[in-house]
Chain A
Amino acid sequence: MIRLERRAVPSRLWTVATPVAAVLATMVAGGILFAALGKNPAEAIRMIFWDPLFGPNASYFRGQLLVKAGPLILIAAGLAVGFRAGVWNIGAEGQYIMGAIAGAGVALAAYPAESPMIFPAMVLAGALGGWAWAMIPAVLKARFGTSEILVSLMMVYVAQNLLAYMAFGPMKNPQGFGFPGSRNLQQYPSAHNPELIAGTGMHWGVVAAFVAVIGTYVLMHRHIAGFRIRVAGDAPKAARFAGVVPGRLIAFCLGLSGALAGLAGLFEVAGPSGQITDSFNAGYGFTAIIVAFLGRLHPVGILLAGLLMALTYIGGDLAQLMLRLPAAAIQAFQGMLLFFLLGFDLLTNFRIRLGRARA
């Protein structure tokens, strides 16, 4: 019989090896899935993981990598801080939308004025929009004990409806020939979040993502505040004993992750996406949850996981184009990855022993 035995100290080897093992297992299981769909599994896997980087049109796709990874990393870095503390913000998608609406709102209000102050104001508004949206579950949790999981998630649906309302109503482009969607900010120089180095996909959002990675690393691993956050996740009573006030902790974690998600939304709407439409959000807020876990809730891990997940997005698009693989396949693929990760995680904290069966 197989027995589980708790390790005295979590295995360092497996902490690092688990994500790798999970990715490999996902490739195998994904291959089976693709084979079941009648596609050549080896070709599909190569197209998802290899071709975007080294394939025929890699120079184009490599630029896309940072465009996709930026928001994922930016959001996941914030989420991971909360997850470490046991604060479950799963409404990043909504905060992302609200950041975009708030930031675009500033730009559209200023249009057509040109000023170097417009973009910074948009950035501030984006962060505030996401922050405010996240503070709703935070305040309700701290004040009434309402589950932040359910409220933050409900707020995603509210934000989506608000987004649609904005795209069809107040933010609709008056010169858009009746089509829904706002003005394109790419054509509004003061509000545009441009590609900083041509061909790299690097824009201010990617810069913000790198800053977030460094910032959360310093916070979580070098500063007393991050230390207390980690204690709160490991042992809530010990955290209280160490002086953590639960309400403030919740507000900080949700506020930070909300602000970062809002920033991600702002940079997206002002840059790659360009305009507010009812389908502007692409699920980054949910995929970032996978990124956070895949990165072991560690900033450096999140950086790598964000790049990997961006790769599957691009590769998924490619496979969709070349192999006619359904778009949903990549979503299932990403979900599978999280499953394998959580399953393999057992090896970090437990040792598997083959023991005698019980009498």
Chain B
Amino acid sequence: MMIAGIDIAQLVAMLMVASTPILLAATGELVAEKAGVLNLGVEGMMIMGAIGGFAGAVVTGSPALGFAAGAMAGAGMALLFAFLTQVLLSNQVATGLALTLFGLGLSALLGQSYQGIKPPATEKLTFGPLTDLPVLGPVLFNHDWVVYLSLALVAGVGLFLSRSRAGLILRAVGESHDAAHALGYPVVAVRVAALAFGGALAGLGGAYLSLVRVPQWAEGMTAGAGWIALAIVVFASWKPGRVLIGAYLFGGVTVLQLRLQAAGFAIPVQLLSMAPYLITIAVLVIISARHRRGAQVAPASLGRVFHASR
């Protein structure tokens, strides 16, 4: 199917790849926010995941090990954030910003010797005849394993939060840390775990950027993807399924503007490049206007400092 010279099936397949880093990061951030912590350092965790994953893959020659390294780099950053905000009780907004600034600097430093290198390729999976199906084949059955993993993680997080007891406790901690503490739940431990998970996913998303999406290492290559992931959590009203919609919507806009750039429309490249950010703002405005009128959606303890004094 072709519209305006663009193959729609190919566009959807590209969209899924473009969305995966943000989908992963947003899913992770959703879990952290559900536990009541606002980690504005997603950008910093992603970029550390990007360099960690890239370096890991180049050094070991294995993309899978690279992804593992990226996840660990993201989780390590998140644990730094957790130590500051949960143990040293620092302000979450300021600490998140610090995490981003630090991550951008440190990743650039670590990445000095990795510029201009090609990482080992992450193979696409094939599903025999399914992959050859028209339209459905390229859209559903011809991706690398991380795309499928990201989808499984969204479903897994959704089930975990709504069905499991651990998920219930996590939500309870995010709703009211005082009440959860009064009932004997380890608020800080739950939050640290949620943050580490969120960081690992952000790192994985970053690694996907440097290993598959681009695939190359460049300073500041996340270019605001972490912030967009934060926006998508708000857009999704803290619901995992809607994170998927939000991330794919965003991926769609990105891919479309790239195609328009390539197709040589008479709009300057720089103005087209603004589109993802402007659309994110527009979507945020629509959603927040709705939230203001509608029911409570954000976890009630989000961003508040917990200190069990007595």
Residues of A within 8 A of B (CB): 4, 6, 33, 37, 83, 88, 90, 140, 144-147, 149-151, 153-158, 161-162, 164-165, 168-169, 286, 289-290, 293, 326-336, 338-339, 342-343, 345-346, 349-350
A147 touches B284 (CB 8 A): yes
B259 lies within 8 A of chain A by Cβ: no
Query: What are 24 inter-chain pairs, A to B, with CB distance below 8 A?
Result: A6-B309, A140-B288, A144-B288, A144-B292, A147-B284, A150-B227, A151-B284, A154-B224, A154-B231, A158-B274, A168-B268, A169-B268, A286-B101, A326-B108, A327-B108, A328-B107, A331-B108, A332-B106, A338-B101, A339-B80, A343-B88, A346-B88, A346-B90, A349-B89
B105 lies within 8 A of chain A by Cβ: yes
B291 lies within 8 A of chain A by Cβ: yes
Contact of A157 among B88, B107, B224 (CB under 8 A): B224
Q: Known interface pairs A154-B277, A343-B84, A346-B90. Does A145 touch B101 (Cβ–Cβ under 8 Å)?
A: no
CA distance A329 to B109 in the complex (A): 5
A88 touches B102 (CB 8 A): no
Q: Known interface pairs A146-B285, A345-B90. Does A289 touch B97 (Cβ–Cβ under 8 Å)?
A: yes
CA distance A244 to B107 in the complex (A): 43
B274 touches A157 (CB 8 A): yes
Minimal Cβ-Cβ distance residue in A for B111: A328
B104 touches A4 (CB 8 A): no
Q: Which residues of B contact A4 (CB under 8 A)?
A: 89, 307
CA distance A224 to B102 in the complex (A): 37
Specify the main secondary structure of chain A where it touches its partner: helix
B223 lies within 8 A of chain A by Cβ: yes
B149 lies within 8 A of chain A by Cβ: no
- Convert B17-60 into 0s and 1s, putting 1 for each residue whose CB lies closer than 8 angstroms to a CB of A: 00000000000000000000000100000000000000000000
Distance to closest chain B CB from A53 (angstroms)? 23
CA distance A32 to B309 in the complex (A): 36
Tell me which of B93, B273, B281 has the highest count of chain A C-beta atoms within 10 A of its own C-beta.
B281
A289 touches B101 (CB 8 A): yes
Contact of B93 among A149, A161, A162 (CB under 8 A): A149
Specify the main secondary structure of chain B where it touches its partner: helix
CA distance A140 to B281 in the complex (A): 9
B89 touches A146 (CB 8 A): no
Distance to closest chain A CB from B229 (angstroms)? 10
A145 touches B291 (CB 8 A): yes
Q: Known interface pairs A150-B230, A150-B284. Does A326 touch B270 (Cβ–Cβ under 8 Å)?
A: no
Contact of B90 among A156, A329, A342 (CB under 8 A): A342
CA distance A83 to B101 in the complex (A): 17
Q: Which residues of B contact A335 (CB under 8 A)?
A: 98-99, 101-106
B270-310 interface with A by 8 A CB criterion: 270-271, 273-274, 277-278, 280-281, 284-285, 288-289, 291-292, 307, 309
A293 touches B105 (CB 8 A): no
Q: Known interface pairs A151-B281, A293-B94. Does A161 touch B109 (Cβ–Cβ under 8 Å)?
A: no
B75 lies within 8 A of chain A by Cβ: no
Minimal Cβ-Cβ distance residue in A for B98: A338
CA distance A154 to B106 in the complex (A): 22
CA distance A141 to B274 in the complex (A): 21
CA distance A90 to B84 in the complex (A): 20
Q: Which residues of A contact B230 (CB under 8 A)?
A: 150
Distance to closest chain B CB from A356 (angstroms)? 16
Contact of A328 among B90, B97, B109 (CB under 8 A): B109
Q: Which residues of A contact B88 (CB under 8 A)?
A: 342-343, 345-346
Which 3 pairs show the lowest CB-CB distances between chains A and B?
A: A335-B102, A331-B105, A328-B108
CA distance A156 to B277 in the complex (A): 9
Q: Known interface pairs A4-B307, A157-B224, A157-B274. Does A332 touch B289 (Cβ–Cβ under 8 Å)?
A: no
Q: Which residues of A contact B80 (CB under 8 A)?
A: 339
CA distance A147 to B98 in the complex (A): 19
B93 touches A339 (CB 8 A): no
B164 lies within 8 A of chain A by Cβ: no
Minimal Cβ-Cβ distance residue in B for A90: B97
Q: Known interface pairs A147-B234, A290-B101, A326-B108. Does A165 touch B268 (Cβ–Cβ under 8 Å)?
A: yes
A339 touches B102 (CB 8 A): yes
Contact of B102 among A149, A151, A153, A332 (CB under 8 A): A332
CA distance A151 to B224 in the complex (A): 12
Minimal Cβ-Cβ distance residue in B for A151: B281
Q: Known interface pairs A4-B89, A343-B88. Does A158 touch B278 (Cβ–Cβ under 8 Å)?
A: yes
B215-233 interface with A by 8 A CB criterion: 219, 223-224, 227-228, 230-231
**A-B contacts besides A145-B288, A150-B227, A157-B223, 9 pairs, CB < 8 Å:** A4-B307, A140-B284, A146-B289, A147-B288, A329-B109, A332-B108, A335-B102, A342-B98, A345-B90
B126 lies within 8 A of chain A by Cβ: no
B95 lies within 8 A of chain A by Cβ: yes
B112 lies within 8 A of chain A by Cβ: yes
Minimal Cβ-Cβ distance residue in B for A164: B270
CA distance A341 to B111 in the complex (A): 26
Q: Which residues of B contact A90 (CB under 8 A)?
A: 97
B162 lies within 8 A of chain A by Cβ: no
Minimal Cβ-Cβ distance residue in A for B113: A326
Tell me which of A155, A157, A333 has the highest count of chain B C-beta atoms within 10 A of its own C-beta.
A157
Tell me which of A4, A88, A151, A342 has the highest count of chain B C-beta atoms within 10 A of its own C-beta.
A342
Minimal Cβ-Cβ distance residue in A for B309: A6
CA distance A332 to B270 in the complex (A): 29
